[in-house]
Structure 1
Amino acid sequence: MKIIAVGLLLLQRTQQGLSSRCRNLYYKSMGVKLQGYVWLRQVDIPRNFDDIEIESFCALDQGVTLLCSGEPLSHPKIYIGAYTYINRNTFIDATLSLIIGKHCGIGPSCYITDHDHGLDINLPPLAQPMVSKPTRLGDRVWIGANVTILKGVTIGNDAVVGAGSVVTKDIPENAIAVGVPAKVIKYRTEQ
């Protein structure tokens, strides 16, 4: 019985690996800049493939969406550093510049963006112009489940953002931040 279970598990892993390699080839052919092998499990990149760059040894889990809008720029709108893991159902939405550093861990069902719409009283919500500001996550950042990171935010290296937080302002290096809006409660260097 154990041999059959191990065999089925091995077969499943092999199938997932082959599917991921096929997705790598497909997205590369569409213009996504994949620097080496990236583990891709049923991700969604609906358009603007040339605006995305992902370094090697990243893993994007099932249901991750990478969405770039607007005219192409001279730099990637979404850049993901090497060895970063993005968990299930996370949505990354960029119009200008959204950079995720190396060795980051992003929990499930997060939303990270570099833009929102204006607030002109004379225009309906969807007619508002986009307001964009670069968003950046440093290296080794850990983002808990269901976190929202809004435009113009920089999260410093080695910072942690607790589950369910909404990040509206910069978070310094080594900080642990939680809440709505997220506030620093302590630093990782403190015992």
Structure 2
Amino acid sequence: MHRVIEGAHSRWRNIYYRSLGVKLHGYVWMRQIEVPRNFDEIEIEAGASLDQGVVLLCSGESQSHPKIYIGTQTYINRNTFLDASLSIIVGRQCAIGPNCYITDHDHGLEANLPPLEQPLISKPTCISDRVWLGANVTILKGVTIGNDAVIGAGSVVTKDIPERAIAVGVPAKVIRHRDGNEL
């Protein structure tokens, strides 16, 4: 019975977010997520799953493309935060662990301005297909993570990660490739 109730709630959320302007291409499994504003700047493919407490936040000037795009069959675990001002793309069949933070921007460091008045600096962030992010991973602006890469729990990704790489640490560094070859 619990599954039936959760399924009904998820379907209701699909209707609700579609009515606000989120572009859902087919059914998306959704627990209680948060989309504070700019609903029309989010696009999610059928078969994606967003768990409890996921936040999809779009800010800044409107773009001609979605600021947040989530591919089919991607699972985003609890309390993960996608924070976009330009473009965050999450590919197909990704597994994103709980409590991750993914962004495409940060603020400047001008000496004469307080922190909240610093200019926003944005660069697109891309998580390619079949990427696995462990729990508590942070992905910073301008990063591209290649297909089939794995990012270890607690890592902070500040630079691009190549395809099939396994990266860990703060900042994240490639330790080996999925074919088993050590670096």
Both proteins in one fold, TM over 0.5: yes
2 CA distance for matches of 1:48 and 1:129? 20
Structure 2 residue aligned with 1:160? 150
Give me the identity figure in percent: 72
Give ranges in structure 2 of 5+ residues lacking alignment.
none
Choose between structure 1 and 2: higher helix proportion: 1
Structure 2 residue aligned with 1:110? 100
Residue 94 of structure 1, aligned match among 73, 81, 84 = 84
Residue 124 of structure 2 is aligned to residue 140 of structure 1: no
SS, match of residue 40 in structure 2: helix
Structure 1 residue aligned with 2:46? 56
Alignment of structure 1 residues 26-37 onto 2, 5 Å: 26-37=16-27
Deviation digits for residues 39-84 of structure 1 (CA, Å, limit 9, x no counterpart): 0100000000000000000000000000000121100000000000
Structure 2 residue aligned with 1:71? 61
1 CA distance for matches of 2:60 and 2:19? 21
Structure 1 residue aligned with 2:5? 15
2 CA distance for matches of 1:39 and 1:71? 29
SS, match of residue 98 in structure 2: coil
Give ranges in structure 1 of 5+ residues lacking alignment.
1-10
2 CA distance for matches of 1:120 and 1:109? 30
Which amino acid in structure 1 is aligned with residue 107 of structure 2?
H
1 CA distance for matches of 2:60 and 2:21? 16
1:150: how far off?
0.1
- TM-score, normalization: structure 2? 0.98
2 CA distance for matches of 1:156 and 1:73? 24
Structure 1 residue aligned with 2:121? 131
Residue 49 of structure 2 is aligned to residue 45 of structure 1: no
1 CA distance for matches of 2:54 and 2:97? 11
2 CA distance for matches of 1:80 and 1:56? 9
Structure 1 residue aligned with 2:73? 83
